[in-house]
Structure 1
Amino acid sequence: MDEGILALLLVPLFLFLTFVAPIWLILHYRSKKQVSQGLSAEEFATINELAEKAEKMSDRIKTLEAILDSEAPQWRDRA
C-alpha cells in the first residue's frame, strides 16, 4: 500500500521536474532579462508623448483655474 502512494507522489513530481520546471525557469529568466534591458525605443517614445500631453493638460488646467478665479472667485469653496 505504501509503495502505491509513493508511486502516486513520485510520478507527478518526476513529470514536474522533467518538463514543467525547466520551461518555467527559462521563461522566468527570459522575462527578467527583458525587464533589465530597459525600455524599447517605441516604449520610450510613447512615454515622452504621454509626458508632453500631461504637460499640455497641466497648462490647460492652470488656464481654466485662472479664468474661474477671475470670473467666480468662490468656485474653490464649492468643492
Structure 2
Amino acid sequence: MEEVLVPIAVVGMLFIGLPWLIFHYVVRLKSAASLTAEDERLLDDMHEMARRLDDRLQTIERIMTAENPNWRQLAADPASIGIEDRHTVRRLNP
C-alpha cells in the first residue's frame, strides 16, 4: 500500500502543487506591479494641485512685474539695494 501512495503523492505535487505555487506568485507579482484605482486618483489629485500652484505662481509673478519690473534683479541681489541679512539685524538689535 505504501508503495503506491508515494508515487501518487509525488505526481500530485508535481502536476498540481507546483503549478499552483507558480501561478499563485505570478498573479501576486502582476497585481503588485499595477496601480490601484486609489493610487491613480491620488496621482491625478496631486497633478491637479501642482497645476494650480503653478498657475498661482505665474499670477504672483505677473503682479510683481506689474508693480516693479526690476523685482527679479532685486531678489537675486538684495545687498545691492541695502537689504540686510536677518541674522545681521538680530545681532545688532538683541
- Normalised to the residue count of structure 1, the TM-score between the two structures is 0.55
**Greater gyration radius:** 2
Aligned residues: 48
Distance in 2 between residues matched to 1:70 and 1:46, nearest whole Å: 36
Aligned match for 2:46, one of 46, 50, 53 = 50
Superposition pairs of residues 55-70 of structure 1, within 5 angstroms: 55-70=51-66
Superposition pairs of residues 1-79 of structure 1, within 5 angstroms: 33=29, 34-35=32-33, 38-77=34-73, 78-79=75-76
- Normalised to the residue count of structure 2, the TM-score between the two structures is 0.46
Query: Which residue identity does 2:49 align to in structure 1?
Result: K
Quote the RMSD (CA, aligned, Å): 1.8
Distance in 2 between residues matched to 1:50 and 1:43, nearest whole Å: 11
Distance in 2 between residues matched to 1:72 and 1:45, nearest whole Å: 40
Higher relative contact order (CA 8 A, sep 6+): 1
3-state DSSP of counterpart to 2:69: coil
* Structure 1 ranges of 4+ moved more than 4 A: none
Distance in 1 between residues matched to 2:56 and 2:47, nearest whole Å: 14
Q: CA deviation at 1:73?
A: 1.0
